[in-house]
Amino acid sequence: MPDVLGKLYRAGEPVVRQGEKGSQMFVLQRGRVEVIREGDGGEIRLGLLGPGDVFGEMAIFEHEVRSATIRALEDSRVLTVDRRTFLRRVQEDPSLAFHILRSLSHRVRELDGEVARLRARLGGAAP
Amino acid sequence: MARSPWKRLGAADELRLEDGDRVAVLGGGPAGSLFAYFFRRLAELVELDVAVDLFEPRRFDRRGPGGCNHCGGVVSESLVQVLATEGVEIPPGVIQRGIDSYVLHMDVGDARIDPPGHEKRIAAVYRGSGPRLSAITDDVSFDRYLLELACAHGTRHEARLVAGVEWFDGRPRVRCADGLARDYDLVVVATGVNSHLLETIERLGVGFVAPQTVKTFITEFELGRERIERSLGASMHVFLLDLPRLEFGALIPKGDYVTVCLLGREIDDDLVRSFLGSPEVRSCFPGGVLPASCCHCMPRINLAPRGPAWADRLVMVGDSGVTRLYKDGIGAAYRTAKAAATTALLQGVSADSFSRFYGPCCRRIDRDNRIGRFLFACGHSAQHLRGARRALLRMTRREQATAGSAARLSGILWDLFTGSSSYGDILRRGFHPGFGLGLAWNFAVGAWRDPRPLATLPGRPLRA
């Protein structure tokens, strides 16, 4: 399609792989992707992302390898945001990071809920 | 020593917006709509109840010049990324074509520049609803999309023509052609430089002087999607031609049409004829034949500011104030609109507040434009030196054909053409010893050996 932006990932195609180095974050424009953690026991799905969701932003702030694999569940269109472009603009306009902070804050809230649910399942006592 | 136009106007009493205050935005192009959007979004965040009225008489769903804001219509790579980060996605119905590469055309040959990743991150858009007499489609103009975005966040669209701004009891009063007169706590001017309103505001005597401008030329040719796909692909085509007074010429594929955009000094019919008649431009059209132009305009663009873009309760954004030299005008509209909105809400609406908190954004763009002038002068010299053109061509082709190469020249040309980086950043990269040595080597070799074609255009080989 000529009248769209970003890059098309076919269903099953990875957008990023766990353990890779990265200097970009991504904005999902169309489709759905899954977040997968790969370990000795196989793959664990950590979550699903939809249009408008931002992922891979940890690579912008930390010089660490990707913590999870992101794979397209269906044909998905993804826009890449370069670290250099993002950080240069944040230097001029710190409020540009609001949307990312909101997304990270939402994720921390979800993880808090998940930890509470797991603890309740394991016996309920706080350490 | 000339006084900087950005010097502070002197201390003023702090003026702050409060609950129940009103803001008028004059002009519904990207600068006006983005100001309204960011202002309302931030006002919600800080829980301030300030109404925003956006005055725009133009109907962006109308085809031809009546519904258009007269611009090449390219949303730069960096702006696409930044808007996506802000949560603003340009929908497919607004994008006439996603651009993934540039093709540089010179009399000595062509070179295609692909960024790493081959991703479409530049959007070609219509500022109105398409050229005159074009078919009616469901497509939405970029300006209409942004205006609707602003209205969805609580901005009220006033479809009225503003005749002037007056001062009444220490506050600006907006007077419309239909007789309406309303007082505001802040007036934001986003009319661009092709409006009579800037002269009216100059006459207010608040220290504002309209920017220095230059004439551009924009025209549209109907080719049809399939022929555009075959002949131009998803590339923007830029021209480095040995034509006097021409700074930059480009072909931008959009839907069924190709937009031709010329920037230079004193653009007139002769220059337009020379450009369109050049073999380099003709080779981009099927059979080397240009169809009849279906829509054209000669709008002026902001070349340099001549004074501060603010006063008490008054601020200019986008082209009305300061913009990037020749490139990324919509990106500059975004930067100035957001900086002005943040200042007005969080710091105040006095000249002093705008000077301290909005001024740095304007000064940064203005300073960078001075470097841009130097870079365009270098490009202009290359236009007249055949040896330099051959060196540019040879080095670009070699970089593009070598996987994993540093691609220093390609990166510089990409950022210069797309407006994705500041001119200062481009200049810094130009000082890299590897770049200088590479260019010198290619200049020496190119002087006696013709560059060979190393890449292909969609549907046809690049010219040797």
In chain A, whose CA is at the least distance from the CA of B84? A27
Sorted by sequence, the CB contacts under 8 Å of residue B419 that are 6+ apart come out as B76, B78, B324, B327, B328, B331
Residue ranges, CATH 3.50.50.60, chain B: 22-73+135-211+305-370
User: Does the domain spanning B22-73+135-211+305-370 belong to CATH 3.50.50.60?
Assistant: yes
Asked if pLDDT for residue B139 goes beyond 80, the answer is: no
**According to the model, what pLDDT value does residue B6 have?**
44
Cα distance from A12 to chain B (closest Cα, Å)? 19
The SS3 call for residue B369 is helix
Whether B92 sits inside 8 A of A92 (CB atoms) is no
A5, A85, A92: residue with CB nearest B98: A5
Please check whether residue A101 is in contact with residue A47, taking contact to mean a CB–CB distance below 8 angstroms.
Answer: no
The two tokens of residue B2 are: 């000339």
Whether B120 sits inside 8 A of A4 (CB atoms) is yes
Whether B85 sits inside 8 A of A81 (CB atoms) is yes
Please check whether residue B439 is in contact with residue B398, taking contact to mean a CB–CB distance below 8 angstroms.
Answer: no
Task: State which H helix or E strand residue B288 sits in.
Answer: none
Q: What is the DSSP string of B145-170?
A: HHHHHHHHTTPEEE---EEEEEEETT
Quick: pLDDT tens for B414-448: 888 888 889 999 999 999 988 888 888 888 887 66
Residues in B touching A80 (Cβ below 8 Å):
81, 117, 119, 121
The answer to whether residue A126 is domain-embedded is no
Please check whether residue B129 is in contact with residue B62, taking contact to mean a CB–CB distance below 8 angstroms.
Answer: yes
Residue ranges, CATH 3.30.70, chain B: 213-304
The answer to whether residue A32 is domain-embedded is yes
Measure the CA angle with vertex B232, ends B231 and B238; round to 5°: 130
How far from chain centre, in Å, is Cα B115?
20
Residues in B touching A90 (Cβ below 8 Å):
none
A7, A85, A96: residue with CB nearest B119: A7
Please compute Rg for chain B using Cα positions: 23
Looking at every residue in chain B, the average pLDDT score rounds to: 87
B369 vs B355: CA distance, rounded Å:
19
> pTM of this prediction?
0.89
B85, B96, B119: residue with CB nearest A100: B85
Cα distance from A22 to chain B (closest Cα, Å)? 13
- DSSP code for A95: G
Sorted by sequence, the CB contacts under 8 Å of residue B366 that are 6+ apart come out as B5, B6, B304, B305, B322
Residues in B touching A93 (Cβ below 8 Å):
335, 338-339, 342
The answer to whether residue A92 is domain-embedded is yes
Arithmetic mean of pLDDT, B280-286: 93
Whether A85 sits inside 8 A of B119 (CB atoms) is no
Quick: pLDDT tens for A9-65: 999 999 999 999 888 999 999 999 999 998 888 889 988 999 989 999 888 888 888
Residues in A touching B429 (Cβ below 8 Å):
none
B418 vs B75: CA distance, rounded Å:
9
B126 vs B138: CA distance, rounded Å:
13
Whether B120 sits inside 8 A of A5 (CB atoms) is yes
The parent domain of residue A65 ranges over 7-121
Q: Predicted confidence band at B58 (pLDDT cuts at 50, 70, 90)?
A: confident
Please check whether residue B354 is in contact with residue B341, taking contact to mean a CB–CB distance below 8 angstroms.
Answer: no
Arithmetic mean of pLDDT, B319-334: 93
Arithmetic mean of pLDDT, B241-264: 89
Quick: pLDDT tens for B183-229: 999 999 999 999 889 999 999 888 899 999 998 999 989 998 899 98
Measure the CA angle with vertex A63, ends A60 and A67; round to 5°: 80
How many DSSP H helices and E strands does chain A contain? 3, 8
Whether B90 sits inside 8 A of A2 (CB atoms) is no
Residues in A touching B361 (Cβ below 8 Å):
92
Question: Which of B7 and A94 is assigned the larger pLDDT?
Answer: A94
Cα distance from B188 to chain A (closest Cα, Å)? 20
Q: Of chain A residues 31-50, which have a CB less than 8 A from chain B?
A: none
Asked if pLDDT for residue B20 goes beyond 50, the answer is: yes
Measure the CA angle with vertex B346, ends B341 and B348; round to 5°: 85
The answer to whether residue A43 is domain-embedded is yes
B392 vs B359: CA distance, rounded Å:
38
The two tokens of residue B76 are: 């730069």
Please check whether residue B432 is in contact with residue B440, taking contact to mean a CB–CB distance below 8 angstroms.
Answer: no
The answer to whether residue A26 is domain-embedded is yes
The answer to whether residue A58 is domain-embedded is yes
The enclosing domain of A99 has a CATH number of 2.60.120.10
Please compute Rg for chain A using Cα positions: 16
Distances (CA, A) of B139 to A3, A17, B94, B134: 11, 37, 6, 12
The answer to whether residue A46 is domain-embedded is yes
Residues in A touching B229 (Cβ below 8 Å):
2
Cα distance from A100 to chain B (closest Cα, Å)? 7
Whether A80 sits inside 8 A of B119 (CB atoms) is yes
B213-304: CATH topology is Alpha-Beta Plaits (3.30.70)
- Domain count for chain A: 1
